[in-house]
Structure 1
């Protein structure tokens, strides 16, 4: 059993207004498939949690090929896993996908130019046979990373596509290039179908694909839920994410590179099927 534990402040927001902050403990666990109840002892109290009946949908890749860095970490105060919106954590299981090359570089030429990013314009794929629940296609995008300002909450996701996976679960792809969204609400899509292109719209520190699964179609109105990917190749990990863009990742040892039906680990580097 693997534990990743972080403690520190979390933020509760209503729109762009901070309602308050509180101290919390965030725990990520790799549990046996048969575990359905978990007891946690803290401050002299025991809390019992009933876990979901399954690990969530096992999805197709949201992108092709790679390498792609799966960027997230439980102990980042401003990471998706710690910022509440109206009492919900939409990014509880979110990953920011960043394209890199074999040397760990994420851009060619001027790195401040959004189109210099290696992932810019990559085709974003439907992760399952699904119905388009919501989409947006007209949020403008800054030409340069340094020019991208703060957006109101309802535009923070930029251009996006939300897919209804059934059973009250929605796969959400954010920060797409304006004009690239190829679907509209009500469309039926097939797994692997192109639904848009990776871009830089909305609140983004650089071109990437934000992906998460939640229990509501709108990007910030749901609670993040579990999911995994049916297949990917594990290449390595960045123990120090500050090296991303300037140095290769560290290869992982002791793990089979072919991974099935799981969520990629924090800051790992993967390759999806072509």
Structure 2
């Protein structure tokens, strides 16, 4: 890779997972591959760097930009203004070392490995919005469609400052430990991972946006201060039935970045 006139130029390459280390002064990235040239502007700032939202792991970071109904493609306009709240959302799913996501009956929400996990404040912050009391279905197969305003289920939104809010969704009813206006410390337990709202299984939905309400913000960038990269699911259909594929040639100890799609990580315990 070379830098010309403030642009980083990456030569031809083969592969699907590329890690770049570019100068802090580089604001535009140009990739030349397969006879084509692609350019993109790098953001002026990386966004807030967050503490862990959950403890330990393994946790699968589930998202993909090309899913037709994925967070990164579904716009909402509850007030008449179209926004993409989940632009950088991740659904966090707990695994074991064999890649299983549940023990016992996989259709029972409470048998999911992540169900009931303590959800943590990612920063020193103020609770800007919260909702509790949305009921859960006992079985995954019986979770029906919810009205748009209840799709997030039970949620907490933390004001991170500078117009940025961390939004946690699908918490267990009755598990919230905070109220609007409370000040929280990084690492403080704010609720428990559950299955409320529109959800295909117990998980923690987390995104950062420029507004506190789940559907009234535009999703913005962020990263995590620290996590251990364990591997990745090249075929997400194997999630729950097979281990992930280790990633070779990368430093497993990651700092100040957003995990890639469908990777598996471990947070500090």
Question: Please, what TM-score do these two structures have when normalized by structure 2?
Answer: 0.86
CA shift, 1:186, in A, is 0.3
2:268 alignment partner in structure 1: 273
CA shift, 1:30, in A, is 6.6
Q: 1:83 aligns with which of 59, 74, 88?
A: 74
Q: 1:258 aligns with which of 238, 253, 262?
A: 253
Moved more, 210-219 or 50-59: 50-59
1:99 alignment partner in structure 2: 94
3-state SS of 1:81 partner: coil
Q: Which runs of 5+ in 2 are unaligned?
A: 1-9, 12-18, 32-38
1:206 alignment partner in structure 2: 201
1:120 alignment partner in structure 2: 115
Taking a change above 3 Å as real, the CA distance of residues 119 and 254 of structure 1, as seen in their structure-2 partners, is same
Q: Which runs of 5+ in 1 are unaligned?
A: 3-28, 41-47
The structure carrying a bigger strand percent of its residues is 1
Q: 1:220 aligns with which of 203, 215, 219?
A: 215
Matches within 5 A, 1:230-241: 230-241=225-236
CA shift, 1:51, in A, is 4.9
Q: 2:50 aligns with which of 56, 59, 64?
A: 59
Question: Please, what TM-score do these two structures have when normalized by structure 1?
Answer: 0.84
1:190 alignment partner in structure 2: 185
CA distance in 1: counterparts of 2:125 and 2:40, whole angstroms: 31
3-state SS of 1:85 partner: coil
CA shift, 1:249, in A, is 0.2
CA RMSD of aligned residues (A): 2.1
CA distance in 2: counterparts of 1:49 and 1:115, whole angstroms: 44
Count of residues paired in the alignment? 243
CA shift, 1:34, in A, is 3.1
